[in-house]
């Protein structure tokens, strides 16, 4: 069965840079339906919880500082094959390696400030979605 939901967040650099509208337009034009969305801000501690899987990596402390540096827009998205199709739409982690036309190629500043998150599996999409949204917030 293909996946039908994924989780994303527009990161502080893209929100601050005024690119959230253009990014959401790309997401909708690619056929994703927004199931839940809000604007919020993470503390460094809460960013650390979200990225706990990377806690042993050298970039972890900087990543937590960056992810708590300004507002973000978390969203739950729906589409057939959502997880894989969305990773394709956002492009490689490092924008220098991202394909032309991808969100990161167009809007990322650096490997850290790379504009947008996309879940890497169905399991993580469910975990990450519930990190930000109660089930009843989804439409």
Binding flags for Mg ion, 109-128, as an x/- string (CB under 5 A) = -----------x--------
Nearer residue to Mg ion within complex by CB, 120 or 122: 120
CA angle 46, 60, 117 (to 5 degrees): 65
Annotated catalytic residue 135: no
Cα R_g (the chain), whole angstroms: 14
Q: Residue 3's CB: how many other CB atoms inside 10 A?
A: 18
Interatomic CA distance for residues 43 and 46, integer angstroms: 5
Residue 63 interacts with which of ligand UDP, Mg ion, none, CB < 5 to 8 Å by class: ligand UDP
Interatomic CA distance for residues 62 and 20, integer angstroms: 23
Interface size with Mg ion, residues (CB under 5 A) = 1
Binding site for ligand UDP (CB under 6 A): 54, 59, 63, 93, 111-112, 114, 117, 120
Q: Footprint of Mg ion on this chain (CB under 5 A)?
A: 120
Name the residues annotated as catalytic.
Answer: 117
């Amino acid at each position: 069965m293909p996946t039908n939901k994924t989780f994303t967040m527009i990161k502080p650099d893209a929100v601050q840079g005024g690119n959230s509208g253009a990014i959401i337009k790309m997401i909708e034009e690619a056929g994703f339906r927004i199931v839940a969305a809000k604007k919020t801000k993470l503390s460094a501690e809460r960013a650390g919880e979200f990225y706990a899987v990377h806690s042993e990596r050298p970039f972890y402390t900087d990543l937590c500082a960056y992810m708590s540096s300004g507002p973000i827009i978390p969203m739950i998205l729906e589409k057939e094959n959502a997880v894989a199709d969305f990773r394709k739409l956002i492009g490689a982690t490092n924008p220098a390696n991202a394909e032309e036309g991808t969100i990161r190629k167009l809007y990322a500043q650096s490997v850290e400030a790379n504009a947008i998150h996309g879940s890497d599996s169905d399991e993580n999409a469910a975990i990450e979605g519930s990190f930000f949204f109660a089930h009843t917030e989804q439409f």
